[in-house]
Structures are given as structure tokens and as C-alpha cells.
Chain A
Amino acid sequence: MFVRNASWKWAVGLTAAMTVVSGCGAGSRVAEGGGGEQVSCEVEVPEGDTTVNVLAYNSSAIDPFTNTMVSSCTQDGLTVKHDPIDFAGQVQRTQATLAGDTGTFDIVETYGFVIPTYAAEGKLMPLDDLFAKYEEQYDLDGLNQQMLDTMSYEGTLYALPMQAQVFTMAYREDIFEDLGLEAPTTFAELREAAETIQQAGVMEHPVALPWLASSDIVTAYDAALGSLGTDFVDHEARRANFDTPVAAQAFEELESLLPYMDPQVTTFDQPAVQQQMYNGDAAISIMFSGRMTDLTDPDNSQYADRIGFAAPPAVEEGGKQYSALSVDGWSIPANTEVDPDLLFQLMAVSVGQEASEAAVPAAYPAREGVVTSENSPYADAANDAISNAPATEPYPYTSLISNEITPMVAGVLTGNTEPQEATRRMQDAAERILQDTR
């Protein structure tokens, strides 16, 4: 009897202890479904069974296009396959699949930032001929010319644009109205608005930006530098710009926002910033536009109906906006063994009129006139942002420099490195890459 009682006591104690240490934390909300319209997919399927493997990261802005392709085009003799993956995973798999004589994927999601690098290395298939061949059949003339240009390298098209992502500002309209604030158009106004919210005791950290030290932070630095009118590289002189005063000024401007942000902001990726807005922990955020619709979903947040959108502020008055424009598209790896005509048609279906309309408001499709203020709550903000974003740098070395300087930029914004030391090292690293890629 004693043994049995003792056993029960031990059992209850151990069970309780292990339940506690097994973890019972709260979870995050994730998007359900992911959209994707069932559209007509009339493509010329080659004889025999063909499988097309698609590589595309999952997000509410990309999923509708991927899902349309997969669900609409799988038919007799043709299987279109896509496995869920995050952005970091896509980046690594793209590198791996494009490396050898043969690859795992037949269609890969690419974006303007990486196209010059891969195109210069001959890893992507030029699409000009296929575009001309199928332009009429799939109404490809409805694609935005600016986005087609972003998907091109040295005048040759390497990807079919599906949608654009641009920095967009989301803010809590209710708090702004209560405090008599306007959406900030400069960093000075942003600091002022944040200060007002702090002083009113509404929030301790009213600003949330994706500054993850291992990746997003370099996009933030690029956006600040671009807003101040400077690129990473003086492309004509082929010389890095990190030893110019503007490079240090960009750091100062970013650091000036730190007092208004969570002290752990350098661990925030975009989902973490979304979570700050969902929770009501932040009143102002700046993220890529593909993240905006989630903020207005009542399933995600009790504040969903109080979110307003605006173009991001400029670092200095009169400058370009603190922004980054990224166009996502579909590319065909040069090493695929599947018929390129078939692959191009699948891509064309995915960015067709019907599919693009169905992707709104989660995405900002590449087709002209699809996004309007009637069907997308952030359309006006995104249109403004696209017009006033700093120009992209479509050169093969841009992404290499960006990768290389990421830890150095992070060093400054985490307080571990002085800006002067970081800019010196960034200049050296960039010059070395420019030399190597000459």
C-alpha cells in the first residue's frame, strides 16, 4: 500500500514537473489556405508523363500564384508539384538547383535582386523568344513594363513578373486620430509621432521594423542609403560608396529610431513585426507590401479594422522614400530537362488576368490596373511607394555585396561596432567583390 501511494505521489509530481518543462507557450497565427484561383490551363502537354517541380517560398503574396499553377495545371500526363518552404530555404535550394548540369526544380521563383547574378552566370534561361511566341495567347502585353524591365538583365528577359513587393507603412489610425497625428512623410516626422505616442503613454515601443540581424537589416540599410540618394556602388566608376559621408549618415538615421523600437528589434523578421502589430505592441511598421493584407484580417488581430496604410517616409525631406522595390517572378533554370515551352506556358497561366485578379489583395500583381483602391486597402500607399522608391541596382555584384556586408551592418545596429569601423570594412569587402567580378 505504501509503495503504491508513494508511486502515485512520485507520478503526479514528475508528471506535473515534466508538463511544465515540456513547454506550453502560446503559438503564432499562420495564414490559412493561401488562395489560388482555379483557372483554365490550356497548355500543350508533351507525350508521356511529365512532372514539373516548382520552387517558391510560402507567403500570402506568393501562394496565390503558386497554388493557381499547381491546382489548375495538373492534368492527365502533367503533374505540377510544389512543397512548402520558407524564404531562406528557397534561397539555398535555388543556389543548389542552379549549380550543376541538372537540377531538382524546373520553375523557380526569382526576384529582381538576384536575377542579374544568376543571369550573368548563365544559370537562367532567356525568355525573350518564348515571350514573343506566347504574348498574344496569354495576354502578356498586360504585364507592367517597369516590372518586366526589373526581371531583365542587359536587355534580356529572365523571369515573368508575377507581383511586386514594396516597403509600405502600416499604422494604427485610431491612435493617430486620438493624438492628432498625420502619417509621417520623413524620418523627423516619424520620430516626432513615435515620441508623441510614447509620451501619451499609449505604447512603450511604437515603431516596429524588420531588422533581423542575419538578413533583413541589410535591406533596411540599403533603403536608408537609397533614400539619401546613394547606391551601394557608383556603377559608372565601379567603386563602392561606403566610404562616403552618406554611408555613415544612413547608420545615424537608422540608429535615431532605436529609442522608439523594442530593444530586441534586431531579432525581428517580418512575421515578428506583423505580430507586434497584431498584439497592439506597435503603432507604426514598415514592411514589404505582401505582409499588409494579413494586418487587416480580423482572424489575426483585434486591431485589424484600425490599420491605415501610407507610403513609407523619406529619410530626409525631399528625398526618395525609405523603401525597397522587389519584383517577384518565375524563371526557368537553364539546366532543366523539361520542355521550356511547357514551363513558360505554366508560368504564363499563373500570371494571367484571372489568377492575378484572384491574388488581390494579398499581392500586388504585375498586371496593369489589377490593383485599385476598391479591391486593396493598401493600393494607394503601394502605388505611391512604387513611384517613389529608390532605383534598384541590377548588377551581378549587388547581391554578393549585400550578403557580405550584412554582419557588418548588423554590428553597428546591435551596438557592437562603430559606424566608422563598419563602413571601412564594408568598403574593403565591396571593393574586393567588385575586383573579383570584374
Chain B
Amino acid sequence: MRRREFYGLVGPSVAVMVGLLVVPLYLTVKWSFQEVDYGSPGQFVGLDNYAQAFTDPRFGRALVFTAGLTVVVTAVLLGAGYVLAAAVNRLGRMRPVVLGILLISYVIPNVVGATMFSWLFDQNFGGVVNLAFSWLTGEEVLWYVETWPNRIMVALNVIWSMLPFATLILLAGLQGVPRDVLEAAQLDGAGPIRTHWSIIVPSIRGVIGFVGLISIMDILRVFDNLVPLSPQAVQLGNESVMLYIFNIAFRDGGQDLGLGSALSVLTIVVILVMLYPFLRDVVREARQA
């Protein structure tokens, strides 16, 4: 390939990446050292925004909540996604139908899905789950104003919306496992659980890692789900980092874009730390390949 062709083909992608990734990232880092209001040039304030972020207990609570949600939901997605994928993999002609139904919750916009999901728990709008829970336990759960019930509801919603993606990718991985390997395991007397644990899971480790990677990135950025599901997120300590940044930068007291940018930079660092094990595996596999 000639150099001109190479640049011609790569150029548009590079331009888009610079425009949509590098420039915003540069501005975010720059603003994180400034006091910035809409439409006004920023004023350099050194590390003040970072100092404010680290001394705000609300940021700490948001970090803990987001990290906890990420760990729990990712674990559930990998476990339930695998079980569901294995089940779907056994289907015959009905597989496309089931896959289609599975994808409903994935293609619905988050905020719409979360609003519908919130109605399941809201007595004002029928509250099917609420009614069923009260009927079964004889107790009324305050899903919106009690910390742990609210966390469970939020986690269930994130799982509901992301499980189809995990299932779909893991299903693709399962379909790539060589049939002769499975037959050999069967001949050696391996039962279903042993086959999954010792044969299938190791052979789709890369796919599992990919699902984990994407899930972690998505859950760390949870934002719109919380708007309908946790209207009292700040008071409950159920504010995600992204919601916290939004509230600081755009809502509480107006417009603190400098502090919001500093929080965004810190969030990028947290995401990289949480992704490190998965990134390391991906790099290792790429090298081996």
C-alpha cells in the first residue's frame, strides 16, 4: 500500500478520534486545573479542584457505591450470562425467537427501560413487584427511600438491561468451542459441570474477559438509570460517580465545570485501575497470538 493510500484511509478515522476523543480529553484535563463557567475563559486554580474532590465525602460515597455496583453486577452478568448462554445454546429452531426476546431490554434506551422498570416497584404506577413482595412477605418495602432496597432495585435494573449483551457474546463464544473436544471430555467420563468448568470456560476465557471488560466500563458509567430509579440518590448514598459529576457540573448550585472535569479525570483513573486485570489478559493473549 502506498503511503498516500494509507494516509487517505487512516486519515478520516484519526480526524474523528482527535475531534471526539483527544480534544475533549485535553479540555477535560485542562479545565480540571481551572475554575470554569459556561461561556467564560477559565482561571487557573492549580490543584484546588482535586483538593475539593478528595475532601468531599460525597465523592467518596459515590466511588464506593459505583465500585460496589460494578463488582456485584459484573459477577452476576458473567455467571447468569454464562448459564443463560449455555441454555440458549441447547435450543434448536427456537433459538432466534428466544434471542430476539432477550434483546428487548438491551435495545430499549436506558432511561426508558429504567422508567418502566421503576413502575414495577412503584405503587403509584401499579407496582407489580411491590405488590408481590408485600403479598409474599407481609411487609412493605420502601424501594425509593431505603438505601439497600434501592441499591438492589438499581442493580436488578442494570442486570436486566445488560444481561442480553453478556448472553449474546458468551453464546458466540460457546458456539466456537470445538465439538470434538467436548466429545473427548464426554468419552473421558466428564459430567456436565466438569465439562463446563474444565473444558469450556478455559477455552472461552478471552470472550469472558471481553464481556467483563465491556461490562465494567458500562457499569462504571451508570447514570441515566438512576434518574428514575433513585430520585433520592444523594441522600441514600446511591449516587454513581457519573451522576455526581452531572450534579456538580450542571445542577447543584449551577455550573462547576472545573470541579466536574477534575472528577472526570479521577474517574478515568479509577476505570483504568478496575480494567487493569482484563487489559493485561487481553494484551497477553494478543502477544501469544
Question: Hey, which bits of chain A sit against chain B, CB under 8 A?
Answer: 3-4, 6-8, 10-11, 14-15, 18-19, 21-28, 92, 95-96, 98-101, 212-214, 263-264, 266-267, 269, 272, 275-276, 279, 281, 400, 403-404, 406-407, 410-411, 414, 416
Contact = CB atoms under 8 A, between A and B. Distances in A.
Contact of B125 (A7, A27, A101, A414): A27
A263 B142 CA distance: 8
B119 A27 contact: yes
B195 interface: no
A267 B232 contact: yes
Contacts of B97: 11, 15
A406 B120 contact: no
Contacts of B88: 10, 14
Given A100-B38, A264-B142, A25 B101 contact: no
B235 A95 contact: no
Instruction: Say what secondary structure dominates the interface of chain B.
Output: helix
B217 interface: no
Nearest to B143: A264
14 contacts: A7-B91, A19-B101, A21-B160, A23-B160, A25-B120, A25-B122, A95-B250, A99-B38, A213-B234, A263-B145, A266-B232, A281-B124, A403-B252, A410-B235
B145 A266 contact: yes
B253 A400 contact: yes
Interface residues of B, number: 46
A403 B253 contact: yes
Interface in B67-126: 84, 87-88, 90-95, 97-98, 101-102, 104-105, 113, 116-120, 122-126
Contacts of B235: 213, 266, 407, 410-411, 414, 416
A147 to B, nearest CB: 26
B145 A267 contact: yes
A24 B160 CA distance: 13
Nearest to B157: A23
Contacts of B39: 98-101
Nearest to A414: B235
Given A3-B92, A11-B91, A23 B113 contact: yes
A311 to B, nearest CB: 26
Nearest to A410: B235
A310 B31 CA distance: 51
A202 to B, nearest CB: 17
Contacts of A10: 87-88, 90-91, 94
Given A214-B251, A269-B231, 16 more contacts: A4-B92, A11-B91, A14-B84, A15-B97, A18-B102, A18-B104, A23-B116, A24-B128, A25-B126, A26-B127, A27-B116, A92-B251, A266-B145, A267-B145, A272-B124, A410-B234
A215 B91 CA distance: 50
A25 B116 contact: yes
B250 A407 contact: no
A404 B235 CA distance: 15
Contacts of A96: 38
Contacts of B40: 99
A272 B118 CA distance: 13
A28 B93 CA distance: 38
B104 A95 contact: no
A264 B145 contact: yes
B254 interface: yes
A268 to B, nearest CB: 8
Nearest to A433: B253
B203 interface: no
Given A213-B235, A267-B232, A25 B119 contact: yes
B160 A264 contact: no
Contact of B90 (A7, A23, A407): A7
Interface string B224-268: 000000011011000000000000001111110000000000000
Given A14-B87, A266-B145, A266-B232, A7 B252 contact: no
Most chain B beta-carbon neighbours within 10 Å: one of A26, A28, A263? A26
The 9 closest A-B pairs by CB, nearest first: A26-B126, A99-B38, A99-B39, A11-B94, A25-B119, A7-B92, A267-B231, A25-B120, A267-B144
A59 to B, nearest CB: 18
B121 to A, nearest CB: 8
A206 to B, nearest CB: 15
B34 to A, nearest CB: 15
A99 B104 CA distance: 40
Nearest to A96: B38
B125 A22 contact: no
Contacts of B101: 14-15, 18-19, 22
A379 B166 CA distance: 56
A403 B254 contact: yes
Nearest to B58: A407
A7 B38 contact: no
Contacts of B38: 95-96, 98-100
A43 B149 CA distance: 57
A11 B124 contact: no
Contacts of A281: 123-124
B153 to A, nearest CB: 12
A210 to B, nearest CB: 11
Contacts of A24: 120, 128
Nearest to B101: A18
Interface in B25-40: 37-40
A99 B38 CA distance: 5
Most chain A beta-carbon neighbours within 10 Å: one of B117, B232, B255? B232
A367 to B, nearest CB: 33
